[in-house]
Structure 1
Amino acid sequence: MDEPTILLTNDDGIESVGLRAVYDGLSEVGDVTAVAPAEDQSAVGRAISHEVEVRDHEMGYVVDGTPADCVVAGLEALVPETDLVVAGCNRGANLGAYVLGRSGTVSAAVEATFFDVPAIAVSMYIPVREDAAFSDIEANGESYGEAVRATSYLADHALGAGVFEQCDYLNVNAPVAEWGPAPLEVTRPSRLYEMDAVREDDAVTLHDRIWEHMADGDIPDPEGTDRRAVVDGKVSVSPLTAPHTTEHHEALDALAETYESEERP
């Protein structure tokens, strides 16, 4: 196919190193316009605004809003001829089924699918332990090398290969480039969930214990899952669908039938 028109967004903000790295890489395979938040919007999910301010930027547009705002504004008003939405590269992995609804990066890709525009969410895993603050971990432009390479390859080939005829979006997670060349593995999101909460006086601390497992390399995730692939030094690509599914449930049907016979208060 002809060179695709790509809308690039993220949740780390338009000045993030990861967005610039992907912008430069994608510019080799398509016509790229960034429509990205002015500030960090991490973990906002698909939060949406009524009105957002938009300003010109050297890479495209900067939006005072969320990643979902950026996608809606981009597809409907700023870059209406978009062939592909790319969200990222996020500084930090977005792995596991439980993360998909939280991540602003992944949520931007999901938002695109409701416009029937295929999308790629891309994130980079940064090894981190409980005793090392995530914000203290260095990640320069070169660290995103494997994430950029995989994203550029998929943006160049996935549309023409018919990948999006069988899925709505791709969730891509890559290791830091310092680990060396990373093969690409098609995966499924891990189901392992280890959130806990501890109360101390008037505060409750929420803790995702998966990160320690990942840093130690002792995750219990089986082969074929996204976390296992990334910890093993591979680029994880999960083909996913966005709309919620529904199934026939006989038990719920029975409740619906008896609803009208219930005594009203």
Structure 2
Amino acid sequence: MRVKVSAVALNPMDWKLSSLPDIAQMFGLVLPSGFGHDFAGTVDEVGEAVSQFSVGDRVFGGAVGRASAEYVVVDPAEGTLLHTPDGLEDHIASTLFVPAGAADAALRVIDLADGETVLIGGAAGGVGVLAVQLARLIGANVIGTASPTTFDFLRELGVEPVAYGPGLADRVRSLAPRGVDAAVSLVGTETIDAALALGVTPERISSIDAGPHPPGGARATVGTEAAPGAIERIAQAVASGTITIPIAATFTLEHIRDAVTVQREGHVHGKVVVKL
């Protein structure tokens, strides 16, 4: 089926896939290729065998290396296309597929429970803002690493912010004198190192950005480990206003290079979106 794309949201994986041949090959891409993964739009054409979608349906999902285009062809059988909930604008829906799956998976594998304290590294990023809000909905106390410029925003989400960098474990210890129960590392390995220093057991530390073998025995985690239906439930929560998605910057397709530059610089507060 074919989707007329109205918005594309960037992820760190996008520029890595387009510039690193070894990583691109892992996803079945041969460089040079298209660009982008997460998108939202409207169904434009459907094949005879398609029954769950109709022309005119609003949808969001993922198409690895192909999303940044006026139209994208997808196979519904692959499970990478979902209906956009009523009340959810396309540019917001486009931000959800990869981050929602990653955030849910990162929390699910550490079995976070009500009343526990969790350290989340990279709390103000695209995955982080979802992870901290999901953790708060579970009932956990959340300490999130971020730059000081995002502290006020994180506090509005119910997060206790802490600056990343040397001395992180000591700063977290002062914020959580009774200890930390679990940790989620979304950027590098600093959060893993701090969590281990604080006595968190490796099986309760998840990582999505430290490769297949994170240090200290932490759990390498991917979005496919999200609970069934998690992305749809998160989309509904965003549509209802229960979860907030901050948009860091918006660009047109003609200025997608500028969008990628912003994404690659890091320290992005929320999501970078390209509108068509």
Q: So what's the TM-score if we normalise by structure 1?
A: 0.32
Question: With structure 2 as the length reference, what TM-score do the two structures score?
Answer: 0.31
Higher-RCO chain (CA-CA 8 Å, sequence separation at least 6): 2
